[in-house]
Structure 1
Amino acid sequence: MNKSYTILISLIVALGGFLLGFDSAVISGAVKGITIYFEMTDAMLGFSVGCVVFGAMAGNLMAGPISDILGRKKVLIIVAALFTISAIWSALATDYTVFIIARIIGGIGIGGAILIAPIYIAEIAPPKLRGSLVSFNQLNIVIGISVAYFSNYFLVNIQDESWRWMLGVEAIPAIIYFLALWTVPRSPRWLILKKNKVDLARKTLTKIGGDKYAEITTSEIQRGIDKKEKKAKLSDILKSKYSTIMIIALGIAFFQQITGINAVFYYAPTIFEQAGGSTDSSFLQAIVVGLTNLVFTLVAIWLIDRLGRKPLLLIGSSFMTVALIMATFAFNSATYDFNSNTINQVSNTEIKTILMDFDGKSFQSQTELFEAVKPKLKNEQFLNFKRNEITNFIQINATLVLIAILLYVASFAISLGPVMWTLISEVFPNKIKGIAISVVGFFNSLVSFSVTQVFPWELSTLGPTITFGIYAALSFCAIIFVYKFVIETKGKTLEELEKLLIRT
C-alpha cells in the first residue's frame, strides 16, 4: 500500500477545504469595515456575510451533476479559479452590489469544494484509510479558518480600509491550489463508472495499493455497475429504497449547521465584543477559537477510523449541548451598569449625552436595557448603540463565555464537523451519488445561510441569552437524532455500505 502517494493526493485536493475555511472566516474580521464603508443595515450585513452560503447553494446544485460529466478533478480546478476571482474582486469592490456578486462567486466555489473534494478522496482512498483521508478536507477547513483569524489580526490595523487586504490575500492560496490540482490523477471510480476507462483507472489504483489491490478494487467497482439502470434523475432520491440513506444524510446536514457553528465562526469577534472585550482582544480570542478547532480536528482524524463515526457524533453533540448551556447561563447572568466611567467610553457624543440620564442605573437583562434606552434614542442612534456601544456597559463572566465557546468549537471539531462530510461521501450509492450529494449539500448550505442571515438580528433583538439557548436546544435534538438514526460505516467498503443501506 503506497500510503504516502494517497496521502499526498488527498492533501492537495483537500486544499479546497483550506480555501473554504479561509473564505468563510475571513469575513469575521471585515464585518466592521464593510459595515461602515457600505453603510449597511442589520439586514444588509447579514446578507453580505450569508451571501457566500447563498452562492454555495448554487455551487452545491451544480457541482455533483457537473462532476459526473466532467470529472471530479476538472470541477475542482474550476473551483480554484472561482476562489481567485472572488478574492480579488471583493477586495477591489466600491459598490455594495458588486461586493455581493464577488462574494457569491466565492460561495459557488465553496459549494463545489465542500462536496467534490470529499467525494474525490473517498473514491481514491482504501477503506481502512478512508475516514482519516476524507477528514483531511475538514482539517484543511479549520486550518483555513485559523489562518484567516491570524491574517485578520495582523491586518486589522492597516490604515485605509484594512478589510480589502483581509479579503484580497485569499488570492495567493487560491492560485497555488489551481496549479497544484493539475498534478493529481482523475478519480478511478469515476473513470470506470462514467467513462469505462478501466485501464487508466487501474494505473492509478496500482500506484495507490499495488497490482493486487488494483485488480480487486477494479473488479469490485465493475460488479457495482448495473447496466440495466438508466441515468439517475432527481426523483430517484425520493424512492423508498433510498429513504434510510436520505434520512441520515439530510438529518446530519441539518444539525451540523442549525446548532450555530457558522454563526460562531463568522461573528467570533462580534460575540467576544458582546462579552465586553476590546477589538484587539476579541480578534485574539478568535485566533484561540481557530486553533482549538484545528487541534480537535486532528483528534477527530486520529479517532474516526478507530472509535467510529457514531460514537464521535454522540460524544461531540453532548458536549456541544453542555457548552451552549454554559454560554446561555453566562449571558443570562450579565448586567448592564451605567456610571461615569462606562458612559464616558461611548464614542458618539450625541448618544453619550442622552445616556447621562441613566447614570447610576443597572439593568438585569439586555431586554430590560433596550426597553429603557430605545425611547430615548432615534432609530439610527439606537442601531449604533446596539452594534457599537452596548459592550461598554456589560458586566459578564467573560472567561466563562470564552470557555463555553472553546468547548463548543472543540466538540464540533471532533464530531459534526468532519464526520458529516465523511458520512455523506460514504453512504450514497454510485448511481445517485452526484445528484444526491448535491441535494444534501444544497440543504446544508440553505440551513447555514438561514443561521448566518438571522444571527445579527437575533443578537441585537433577542439578545445573546435567547440566541444561545435556542442553539443549546437544537444541539440536544442532534443527540437524539444520531442515537436513533445514524449507523456505523467504519471499515466497510463503499460497495458493502451500498448493500447494507439500500432497501430491496
Structure 2
Amino acid sequence: MEAPKASKPKMTPGRVTGPLLYAVSSAVLGMLQFGYNTGVINSPRNFIEHFISEQYDADPSIIFSLIVSIFAVGGMVGCPLASWMLEKYGRKTSLIINAAFGVLSALLMGFSKLADSVEMIIIGRFLIGINCGFATTASPTYVSEVAPLSLRGAFGTVNQLAVAFGMVGAQILGIDVLLGSDEGWPWLLGLAIVPSAVQFVMLIFAPESPRYLLLVVRDEERSRGVLTHIRATMEVDDEINDMHIEDRAARQEEKFSIRDLFMIDSLRQPLIIGIVMHLSQQLGGINAVLYYSTTIFQNAGLEIDKARLAAIGVGSVLFVMALVSIPLMDRLGRRTLQLGGLAGMAVFSVLMTVAFFTQENETMKVFAVIFTFLYVAFFGVGPSSIPWMLLSELFGQGARSAAVSVGALINWLANFIVGLTFIPMSNALGNFVFLPYTFLLILFFTFTYFKLPETKNRTIEEVTALFKK
C-alpha cells in the first residue's frame, strides 16, 4: 500500500498587525545599515584621503580603495557566519549579537580621527562589512519566517527598500552643510551606531521566529504563542500544520552539499545561471556608481557641492525603483525584468561615456547626471533584487541553502573586486572607465537571453524539472 502524499500547504490568509510590523522593523534595520555603509563612503572621499596623506606617504587613493573594498571582504565572512549562527543560536539571538557587533564597528570608525588611526577605519569597515553580510542573510530569513505566507513576497521587498533608504540617508548626511566636511566625516562614519543600537534594543522585545521554535527547537507551545501574538488571533492551527507539512516534505528531500552543486549536472546548470546573475549585479558596475558617484559627477564637470547633491539622487532613484519593481515582479516576470534591466544599463553606460567626453558643454553636464540616474533606474528594475530571488526559485529545498550561500559569496567577492579596482581603472582609462562594464553587461544580457528560464508562476518542481531533461 502506497504512503499517502503530503498535501500542499494552504495559502492561509494573513493581515498586517502591530506586533508583526514591529518584528519586521527590528530585523530590516540591519538592511538599512547595509545601505548606509554602502553609500556613506562616497561623499567624504577627499577628506578621508587628506587624513590618510597626513599619516602615510603612500598614494592615499590606493588606501581609500582598500577602505572601500574591505567592506565586501567582511561581507564574505558575515554571510556564512550568519547561516551557522541562525541554526545554532536562533534568529533573534543571532540578530542581537550582530547588532552589538555593529555598535563596536561604528565606534572604531567614529573615533578614528581622534585616535589619528587610519587602521581603525580599515578595521571598522571590515567589521561593519561582517555585520552587513550577516544582515543580508539573517534579516530576510527572519522576515520570511515571521510574515504570513500570503504577505511574504510583499514583506520581502521591505529589505530592498531599507537598503535604498539607508543609502539615501547616508548621502544626505554627506552634503557639506551637514557632515560632509573635514570635521564632520568621522561623525558620518560613526553614525552607523544608530541603526545597530536601535536594532539591539528593539530586538530584545521582538519575538523569536515561530518557524525556528517549531522546526528546530521543537517547542510547539512557544511557537503557537508567538504566532498568536504576531497574528493577533488564536486561529493559528492551519499555519502550524502548514509548517509541519513543509518540514516533512523537506525531510524527505535529499540534502546536497556545495560540492554536489558542482558535480551533479542537474544542479550545476542552475548554479551557473545563479552565479552569472549575481556577477551581472556587481560587475555591471553599479557599485562603482554607489561607492564613487560624487567622484564620477565631479569628473563630469560638476562642482563638489552639486556633485554631492547629485549623489543623493542616485540613492533616491534606487529607492523609487524598489517601489516600482514590486508590482512588476509578478506581472512581467523575472526574466523580462532582468533582460530589460541589463539592456538599459548597457545603453546608458555608453551614453554616460559620451556625456563625460562632452563635459565642457553645460547641457551635457546635466545629461551626464540624467544618464547616470537612468543607469541606476534600470539596475533597480531587475538586477538589484532578482539575483537574490533566483537561486531560491531554481533549487529545491535540499539544495537551496548551499546554492544561496554560493551566490552570496560570489556577490560579495564581485563587490570587492569593483570597489578595489574602480579608482585604478578610472586613473588608467579616464572617461572610458565604464566601457569595460558595458562589455560585461552585453555578455550578461546574451547569457541571460539564452540560459535563464522564467520562474514566474512555476512551482519548484516545474523549474527543477527543466534542468533534469
TM range (shorter): 0.7 to 0.9
1:12 aligns with 2:34: no
1:146-193, Cα deviation, whole Å (9 max, x unpaired): 000111115556765321011111211221112222333333444444
1:143 aligns with 2:171: no
Match of 1:22 in 2: 36
Q: 1:305 to 1:451 in 2, by over 3 A?
A: same
Q: Is the 8 A contact 1:269 1:283 kept in 2?
A: yes
For 2:456 and 2:15, the matched residues in 1 are separated by 19
For 1:468 and 1:120, the matched residues in 2 are separated by 37
For 2:269 and 2:206, the matched residues in 1 are separated by 34
Paired amino acid for 1:237? L
For 2:382 and 2:263, the matched residues in 1 are separated by 29
Match of 1:390 in 2: none
Q: 1:158 to 1:253 in 2, by over 3 A?
A: closer
Which of 171, 184, 204 is matched with 1:162 structurally? 184
For 1:161 and 1:496, the matched residues in 2 are separated by 57
1:118-169, Cα deviation, whole Å (9 max, x unpaired): 2333344445433332121111100000000111115556765321011111
By how many angstroms is 1:463 displaced?
Answer: 1.1
Match of 1:401 in 2: 368
1:48 aligns with 2:62: no
Paired amino acid for 2:201? L
By how many angstroms is 1:48 displaced?
Answer: 1.0
Q: What's the Cα RMSD here?
A: 2.8
Q: Is the 8 A contact 2:14 2:151 kept in 1?
A: no
Paired amino acid for 1:55? G
Match of 1:273 in 2: 298
Paired amino acid for 2:448? V
Match of 1:442 in 2: 409
Q: Is the 8 A contact 2:14 2:148 kept in 1?
A: no
For 1:428 and 1:73, the matched residues in 2 are separated by 27
1:344-366, Cα deviation, whole Å (9 max, x unpaired): xxxxxxxxxxxxxxxxxxxxxxx
By how many angstroms is 1:110 displaced?
Answer: 1.1
For 1:445 and 1:409, the matched residues in 2 are separated by 19
Q: How many residues align?
A: 443
For 1:251 and 1:123, the matched residues in 2 are separated by 28
Q: Is the 8 A contact 2:345 2:378 kept in 1?
A: yes
Paired amino acid for 2:51? Y
SS of residue in 1 equivalent to 2:330: coil
Q: 1:285 to 1:421 in 2, by over 3 A?
A: same
By how many angstroms is 1:73 displaced?
Answer: 2.8
TM-score (structure 1 length as normaliser): 0.80
Q: 1:260 to 1:47 in 2, by over 3 A?
A: same
Which of 76, 99, 105 is matched with 1:86 structurally? 105
Paired amino acid for 1:220? I
By how many angstroms is 1:457 displaced?
Answer: 0.7
1:235 aligns with 2:259: yes
By how many angstroms is 1:42 displaced?
Answer: 2.8
Q: Which moved more, 1:163-172 or 1:482-491?
A: 482-491
Match of 1:356 in 2: none
1:461 aligns with 2:425: no
Paired amino acid for 1:218? M
Q: Is the 8 A contact 2:179 2:187 kept in 1?
A: no
Pick 1 or 2: higher relative contact order, CA cutoff 8 A, min separation 6. Answer: 1
SS of residue in 1 equivalent to 2:296: helix
1:268-298, Cα deviation, whole Å (9 max, x unpaired): 1100000111111011101111111111111
TM-score (structure 2 length as normaliser): 0.86
1:206-245, Cα deviation, whole Å (9 max, x unpaired): 6549435414422331222326857x64423334142244
Q: Is the 8 A contact 1:318 1:479 kept in 2?
A: yes
Q: Is the 8 A contact 1:77 1:181 kept in 2?
A: yes
- Sequence identity (%): 30
Which of 48, 52, 58 is matched with 1:34 structurally? 48
Match of 1:366 in 2: none
SS of residue in 1 equivalent to 2:207: coil
Q: Which moved more, 1:112-121 or 1:4-13?
A: 4-13
1:314-337, Cα deviation, whole Å (9 max, x unpaired): 2222211221111122224456xx
- 1:72-471, aligned counterparts within 5 Å? 72-93=91-112, 94-153=116-175, 160-204=182-226, 207-208=230-231, 210-211=235-236, 213-226=238-251, 233-240=257-264, 241-334=266-359, 397-465=364-432, 467-471=433-437
Paired amino acid for 1:75? S
- 1:62-81, aligned counterparts within 5 Å? 62-81=81-100
For 2:160 and 2:387, the matched residues in 1 are separated by 10
Match of 1:361 in 2: none
